[in-house]
Amino acid sequence: MSSSFGRLFRVTTFGESHGPGVGAVIDGCPPGLPLDEEVIQRDLDRRRPGQSSLTTARQEADRVEILSGVEGGRTLGTPIALLVRNQDQRPGDYADLAAAPRPSHADFTVEQKYGLRPASGGGRSSARETVGRVAAGAVAARWLQAVCGVEVVAWVEQVATLGPAQVDPATLTRLQVDAHATRCPDPRLADAMSEAIAAAQADGDSVGGVIGAVCRGAPSGWGEPVFDKLEAMLAHAMLSLPATKGFEIGSGFGGAALRGSVHNDAFVARDGGGLGTATNRSGGVQGGISNGEPITFRVAFKPPATIARPQRTAGYDGTEVDLIGKGRHDPCVLPRAVPIVEAMAALVLADLALIQRARR
């Protein structure tokens, strides 16, 4: 509890980084959607460790197998179970964890909550848990694109103190984002970000950053007041990701400093009929319901807790120790977080789209 997310398009993830495998079961994907393993593999490859020198050295092919719910290349409307077997397990790397919990990692809280210490330390807190999210999100994204014409694009907006990246959310593509190893599509910043990550790694340290994201093509009417507003579901989804510390929709914290006369988005007649807004400080959402404008949001990621430098901290017994991180961890999760953020956004939107379809 609780490894499930969503109501009508519902995903349940499973798996430890040091067990046989990780995966997801999607319940509620509509029938008849063209789907095969390649659609899912594409997004898993974007999340996969070992893509570049910026990411962890852990090598995982991360090949997905569809266990159910698809026949003859189309979804049946039944649960779609997805399995990715683990390959490069080295539990020995975690032997030192027996004595002291890693600072700002989940070792301590997992032990407090469950009364045990998994071999991997934080158990399901591992970034590897997101494999199931990305696999499921790929299916949601497929449905959104095929049936609703909706696409989600995320990018690296800030690394350490470098940012924000300047991008045009109206036109940015995943191809443009993936063109640079950092997944920052602003050419003025991307190389500096690479260098900042490399410098941190050289120092045995880590850096955080911010992901920006946009959902384009969503019609008005998605989002369920009052508790399941679109931005509430997005915030829930994003803050459920490992290492996230903040979420903003539209103008976010910056909007809090403005006056209403400046912040309000005036309506304008759209070409082709209907109303749009002249500005989009609302981030595509008003009263928790999409208004037809691009949905824009940002997610803050802290620097990874596992670092190679010695850290002075207390062991489980209270005695001070100098802890040195082992294991293979990213000095910066931002580049790999891009497909993960996209996946969670797709899961939110697919679910809210289905709920709205039931209504009218």
- Which residues 274-303 are close enough to bind a copy of itself by CB under 8 A? 275, 277, 281-283, 285-292, 298, 300-303
Structure tokens at 353: 């789209």
Contacts of 303 (CB under 8 A, 6+ apart): 200, 205, 206, 207, 208, 332
Give the nearer residue to a copy of itself in terms of CB position, either 177 or 299.
299
Position among 39, 76, 146, 179 found at the interface with a copy of itself (CB under 8 A):
76
Contacts of 34 (CB under 8 A, 6+ apart): 73, 74, 142, 146
User: Per CB under 8 A, which region of 21-29, 40-48, 165-173, 183-191 contacts a copy of itself?
Assistant: 21-29
Integer CA distances (angstroms), 314 to 96, 311, 323, in order: 13, 10, 9
Q: Distance between CA 218 and CA 251 in Å, rounded?
A: 19
Integer CA distances (angstroms), 100 to 97, 106, 304, 308, in order: 6, 12, 18, 15
Q: Looking only at residues 296 through 335 of this chain, which bind a copy of itself when binding is defined by CB under 8 A? A: 298, 300-307, 309, 311-314, 316, 318-319
Position among 38, 168, 175, 259 found at the interface with a copy of itself (CB under 8 A):
259
Give the nearer residue to a copy of itself in terms of CB position, either 171 or 326.
326
* Cα atoms in the 13 Å half-sphere on the side-chain side of 113: 12
Q: Looking only at residues 22 through 61 of this chain, which bind a copy of itself when binding is defined by CB under 8 A? A: 22-23, 25, 27-28, 30-32
Q: Which long-range contacts does 193-197 make (Cβ < 8 Å, 24+ apart)?
A: 193/156, 193/159, 193/160, 193/162, 194/54, 196/159, 196/160, 196/162, 197/54, 197/159, 197/331, 197/332
Structure tokens at 194: 């690479």
Position among 63, 148, 263, 294 found at the interface with a copy of itself (CB under 8 A):
263
Residue 66, helix vs strand vs coil: strand
Give the nearer residue to a copy of itself in terms of CB position, either 114 or 173.
114
Q: Looking only at residues 78 through 117 of this chain, which bind a copy of itself when binding is defined by CB under 8 A? A: 78-81, 83, 100-101, 103-106, 108-110, 112-116
Q: Looking only at residues 112 through 141 of this chain, which bind a copy of itself when binding is defined by CB under 8 A? A: 112-116, 118-119, 122-125, 129
User: Please, what is the minimum distance in Å from the beta carbon of residue 111 to a copy of itself?
Assistant: 9
Q: Could you give the string, one character per residue 176-215, with x where binding to a copy of itself holds by CB under 8 A and - elsewhere?
A: ------------------------x--x-xxxxxx-----
Give the nearer residue to a copy of itself in terms of CB position, either 18 or 336.
18
